[in-house]
């Protein structure tokens, strides 16, 4: 009986081993098929609406037309999807870079000093929950330009995840590590680079991943307010033109770009994180 059971289970293990490496691709394709099926279902349900949800075939056709010539330029209000994405990514990385340059040292100061932690924690807890779009008018008042206000909104909202995670990483460094550094006569800079930074890297990269994700969400909403160019402006402009196919296509593009950004930062985290 035991031998018979082993014979019956043997093909199952062989199949599992054969197709195991293809499972992620199979799941991805199945997930995309479900998503497209949802669009078809929504299209059928809203068929009698004034502006129905487009079917999957229309969305795919629109995606193809958008990427057939992504960098055409017919004037300030008629640019290809490539230009729109590039504008959004530039704005995101401007705000993200400035936020990172501020959040890392401030996070280190907070994490290494209980006094600074007690002093700045109330400020962080008050400002952190503020909606990203609430900062946009303040950015307009400060810079008198909508594109700079969008960078400002990204900058403010990117600070908190990186700052908090950096502070958490620094405060989690075991006392034994810092005592050894003192025993070997490490300078302050060497202690930071050889003790605090390696130990805090997993926390820092977690914060950076969260920040870039938030930045990509914020820029779409900010560009709807600022206008002019960018993927957010493209979505709003397409809606005003009653082109829901372009709206849905842009939503999918936004999602794919967000996924790519997440994968990039995950790869960086694996590459630069020290393991015990």
10/117 Cα distance (integer angstroms): 59
Q: By the 8 A CB rule, do 153 and 141 touch?
A: no
pLDDT at residue 185 above 50? yes
Confidence (pLDDT) at 13 = 44
- 3-state class of 77 per DSSP? coil
105: which 2 tokens?
Answer: 């040292």
Phi and psi at 113, nearest 5°, equal -135, 120
Question: Helix 146-171 vs helix 197-226: angle between axes, to the nearest 10 degrees?
Answer: 160
* Rounded mean pLDDT, 73-87: 85
- Widest Cα–Cα separation across the chain: 82
Confidence of residue 165 (pLDDT cuts 50, 70, 90): very high
Q: E strands, the chain, where?
A: none
List beta partners, residue 73.
79
Residue 188 predicted with pLDDT over 70? yes
Residues in the chain: 276
Residue 2, pLDDT above cutoff 60: no
Q: What is the pLDDT of residues 13-66, one digit of tens each?
A: 454 555 677 777 788 888 888 888 887 888 888 878 877 788 888 888 888 888
CATH topology of domain 84-272: MetI-like fold (1.10.3720)
pLDDT digits 0-9 by tens, 205-244: 999 999 999 999 999 989 988 877 889 999 998 888 888 8
Domain-wise residue ranges, the chain: 84-272
> Taking 70 as the threshold, does the pLDDT of residue 12 lie above it?
no
| Nearest one of 195, 202, 121 to 164, comparing CA atoms | 121
Using DSSP's 3-state secondary structure scheme, residue 79 falls into strand
**pLDDT level of residue 94 (50, 70, 90 thresholds):** very high
Distance of CA 188 to the CA centre of its chain: 33
- Would you state the structure tokens that stand for residue 58, as one six-digit string? 């229309």
The Cα–Cα gap between 206 and 214 comes to: 12
What mean pLDDT value characterizes the chain?
Answer: 84
Return d(Cα 83, Cα 73) in angstroms, integer: 8
């Amino acid at each position: 009986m035991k031998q018979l059971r082993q014979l019956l289970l043997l093909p199952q293990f062989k199949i599992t081993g054969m197709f195991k490496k293809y499972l992620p691709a199979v799941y991805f394709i199945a997930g995309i098929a479900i998503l497209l099926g949802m669009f078809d279902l929504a299209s059928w349900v809203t068929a009698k609406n004034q502006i129905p949800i487009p079917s999957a075939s229309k969305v795919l056709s629109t995606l193809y037309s958008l990427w057939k010539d992504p960098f055409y330029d017919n004037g300030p209000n008629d640019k290809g999807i490539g230009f729109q994405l590039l504008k959004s990514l530039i704005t995101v990385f401007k705000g993200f870079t400035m936020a990172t340059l501020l959040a890392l040292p401030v996070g280190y100061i907070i994490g290494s000093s209980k006094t600074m932690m007690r002093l700045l924690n109330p400020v962080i807890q008050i400002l952190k929950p503020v909606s990203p779009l609430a900062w946009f008018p303040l950015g307009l008042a400060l810079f008198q330009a909508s594109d700079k206000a969008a960078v400002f909104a990204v900058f403010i909202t990117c600070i908190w995840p990186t700052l908090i995670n950096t502070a958490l990483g620094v405060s989690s460094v075991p006392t034994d590590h810092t005592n050894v550094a003192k025993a070997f006569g490490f300078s302050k800079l060497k202690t930071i680079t050889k003790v605090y930074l390696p130990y805090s890297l997993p926390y820092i990269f977690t914060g950076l991943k969260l920040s870039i994700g938030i930045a990509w969400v914020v820029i779409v909403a900010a560009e709807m307010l600022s206008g002019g160019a960018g993927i957010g402006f493209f979505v709003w402009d397409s809606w005003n033109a009653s082109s829901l196919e372009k709206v849905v296509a842009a939503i999918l593009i936004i999602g794919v770009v967000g996924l790519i950004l997440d994968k990039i930062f995950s790869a960086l985290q694996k590459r630069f994180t020290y393991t015990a």
